[in-house]
């Protein structure tokens, strides 16, 4: 029996909010006065955590993530040439700028976080002001100046793929604006599960509560057993194969598909203990000539997930 569910990757220096479109401090429609960046307080950053540059620095420095998007876009100029693109949850607008570099006629980039104020300056400094329109607000509430778009790009994935992800927002944008037979980057996502042995983690995070300065704190141990951990997993700790538990086609999936139950069977690859489960995901860009993607597997290169 697994004693601690452990999901693969980086410890939580960054916790993703539900979505940039769900955490908006400023909204011109409700008359709130725009805050100057120098006037921001810790409370502002708490409710608008995507406003802090460190989150975007971490994502941009994730070369597996960023260069995969860059290659998928720039290596396929025939897909983007003269097309209208929508960037959902644009952050620093790096994907929007890639799209314009690839030949997009215009890109509409939406984000509710205050980082969009810096994104406007970035777009201007890099000479894209005429071809990128940045819109601040919730995707579900704003209106585009066009009736439809040809391509939707978004880095919507959360920890455990779906935890605090923007999938709902991408689906909304897809259904409202994407043309028939339009393109979504990325368009496929698969989540896998495997089992691991990690006695050190079990000792440090679970057994720790047995004796804390001489006190029995095992009631917290029961909580710790039920909570997933976001952490880096050594590939050598994996003791079984990895099997898919959910597959999403972003072109056709529904909001309800993000709530799922999955039966699975794992095959042991060595005689060992099992201390927990490890989840990782893969995303793919399959609507291009040479499909590419990336994985957050313990057997793959590090990502910020």
Backbone phi, then psi, for 222, in 5-degree steps? -65, -35
3-state secondary structure the chain: CCCCCEEECCCCCCCCCCCHHHCCCCCHHHCCCCCCHHHCCHHHHHHCHHHCHHHHHHHHHCHHHHHHHHHHHHCCHHHHCCCEEEEECCCCCHHHHHHHHCCCCEEEEEECCCHHHHHHHHHHHCCCCCCEEEEECCCCCCCCCCCCEEEEEECCCEECECECCCHHHHHHHHHHHEEEEEEEECCEEEEEEEEECCHHHHHHHHHHHHCECCECCHHHHHHHHHCCEEECCCHHHECECCEEEEEEECCCCCHHHHCCCCCCCCCECCCCCCCEEEEEEEEEECCCCCCEEEECCCCCCCCCC
Q: Convert the pLDDT of each residue in 68-84 to its tens digit.
A: 999 999 999 999 999 99
The reported pLDDT for the residue numbered 304 is: 81
The reported pLDDT for the residue numbered 170 is: 97
The reported pLDDT for the residue numbered 36 is: 53
Catalytic residue numbers read 155, 164
Report d(CA 248, CA 163) in Å as an integer: 14
The reported pLDDT for the residue numbered 11 is: 31
Report d(CA 103, CA 165) in Å as an integer: 29
The reported pLDDT for the residue numbered 159 is: 87
- Identify which of 41, 42, 50 has the alpha carbon closest to the alpha carbon of residue 119: 50
Sign of the Cα torsion 265, 270, 276, 282 reads negative
Report d(CA 98, CA 111) in Å as an integer: 17
Residues of the chain with pLDDT under 50: 1-35, 42-43, 45-47
């Amino acid at each position: 029996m697994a004693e601690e569910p452990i999901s693969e990757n980086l410890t939580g220096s960054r916790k993703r909010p539900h979505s940039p479109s769900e955490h908006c401090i400023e909204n011109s429609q409700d008359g709130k006065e725009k805050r100057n960046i120098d006037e921001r307080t810790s409370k502002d950053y708490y409710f608008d955590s995507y406003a802090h540059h460190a989150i975007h620095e971490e994502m941009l420095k994730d070369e597996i993530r960023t260069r995969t998007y860059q290659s998928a876009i720039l290596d396929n100029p025939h897909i983007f040439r003269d097309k209208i693109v929508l960037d959902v949850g644009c952050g620093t607008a790096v994907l929007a700028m890639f799209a314009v570099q690839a030949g997009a006629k215009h890109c509409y980039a939406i984000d509710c976080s205050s980082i969009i104020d810096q994104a406007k300056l970035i777009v201007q400094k890099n000479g894209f002001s005429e071809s990128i329109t940045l819109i601040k607000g919730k995707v579900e509430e704003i209106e585009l100046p066009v009736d439809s778009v040809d391509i939707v790009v978004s880095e919507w994935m959360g920890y455990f793929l779906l935890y605090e992800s923007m999938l709902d927002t991408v689906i909304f944008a897809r259904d409202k604006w994407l043309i028939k037979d339009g393109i979504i980057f990325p368009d496929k996502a698969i989540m896998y599960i495997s089992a691991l042995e990690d006695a050190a983690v079990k000792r440090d995070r679970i057994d720790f509560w047995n004796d804390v300065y001489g006190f029995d704190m095992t009631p917290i141990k029961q909580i710790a057993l039920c909570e997933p951990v976001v952490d880096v997993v050594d590939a050598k700790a994996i003791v079984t194969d990895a099997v898919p538990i959910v597959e999403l086609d972003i072109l056709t999936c529904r909001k309800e598909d993000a709530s799922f139950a999955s039966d699975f069977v794992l095959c042991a690859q060595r005689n060992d203990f099992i201390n927990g489960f490890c989840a990782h995901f893969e995303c793919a860009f399959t609507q291009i000539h040479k499909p590419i993607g990336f994985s957050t597997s313990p057997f793959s290169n590090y990502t910020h997930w």
